[in-house]
Amino acid sequence: MLDSDEIHPLFAGAPSSTSFKKLRKRIIRQTRDAIETYGMIERGARWLVCLSGGKDSYTLLAALTELQWRGLLPVEILACNLDQGQPGFPQTVLPEFLSAMKVPHRIEYQDTYSIVKSKVPAGRTYCAMCSRLRRGNLYRIAREEGCSAVVLGHHRDDMLETFFMNLFHGGKLASMPAKLVNDQGDLYVYRPLAHVAELDCEKFAKAMKYPIIPCDLCGSQDGLQRQQIKRMLDGWEANSPGRRNVIFKALTNGNPSHLLDPDMFDFKSLSRDITNPCQKAKNP
């Protein structure tokens, strides 16, 4: 089904190698699986697809556009980039790219970088506050554009890293949900790349020669807990290939009765069956 010629400008010049075709099929299949598994489709809805200029968001946009083009995603897509005023951010890259690719888009400038810079103490990372301010602006834009969902490019590895960050530093079993409703209750947040590996996003964006914008313009990435978790997972994967897939499968296969959270499972109401023949045999 995906062996036809390029179907959209986003795929202009796509490599014709067998390996790339397999990669493309895998990404599209996994994206579609996540959309269907987590019930993301509202026929006729409008999605605000957030584009940072990184490999993940380019892969997200391409996958959703292909599904839409093939009639498998009956929603309207509006790509959006939020320029947060980071020093050195190449302001013309995404507008020129999206226009050339004939992708409907909105470019928004909000200098949240200066706010973060003034509020975060020296030596601390900017990411948490930066993320909150970015999310608030994206919600606002989604409402202004009549969108029902904000769509993000987090992939499988982001979810694994978040799980271990919560496990090691937050004392809870939680990851990034593939689908949620925001606190105000008026917008969905979707992560259609939930099943897609980061390495596949990297290979895809590189093969397509998309104009990647680095995510470390603010200089706040070194030493992050997430980077430490990533290195840990890389080590596990090197020693035991496929480890990430196994851990991710575990996140989709929870068993509340075998954990220790009484709010998830009613342990107090468990009772043995005194009519059980095996029990009677033991107690004649």
Tokens linked to 142: 């989604």
Q: What are phi and psi of 190, to 5 degrees?
A: -115, 145
Of residues 239, 151, 233, 235, the one with CA closest to residue 197: 233
Report the chain's C-alpha Rg in angstroms: 22
Residue 279 pLDDT: 59
Q: Which residue ranges form the domains of the chain, and what is each CATH number?
A: 9-282 (3.40.50.620)
CB 241 within 8 A of CB 155: no
Chain centroid offset of residue 153 CA: 4
Q: Does residue 1 register a pLDDT over 50?
A: no
Q: Over the chain, what is the mean pLDDT? A: 89
**Whole-angstrom Cα distance, residue 8 to residue 11?**
6
| Segment 194-197 long-range contacts (CB within 8 Å, at least 24 positions apart) | 194/34, 194/38, 194/154, 194/155, 194/156, 194/159, 195/30, 195/31, 195/33, 195/34, 195/156, 195/248, 196/27, 196/30, 196/31, 196/34, 196/59, 196/63, 196/155, 196/156, 197/155, 197/156, 197/157, 197/244
Q: Which residue has the tokens 């490999």?
A: 55
**Whole-angstrom Cα distance, residue 241 to residue 234?**
10
136-194 confidence digits (pLDDT tens): 999 999 999 999 999 999 999 999 999 999 999 999 999 999 999 999 999 999 999 99
pLDDT tier for residue 274 given thresholds of 50, 70 and 90? confident
42-66 confidence digits (pLDDT tens): 999 999 999 999 999 999 999 999 9
Q: What are phi and psi of 245, to 5 degrees?
A: -65, -40
CB 205 within 8 A of CB 212: yes
CB 30 within 8 A of CB 195: yes
Provide the Cα torsion 43, 107, 197, 253; round to 10°: -50
Residue 216 pLDDT: 63
Query: What's the first-to-final CA gap in the chain, in angstroms?
Result: 66
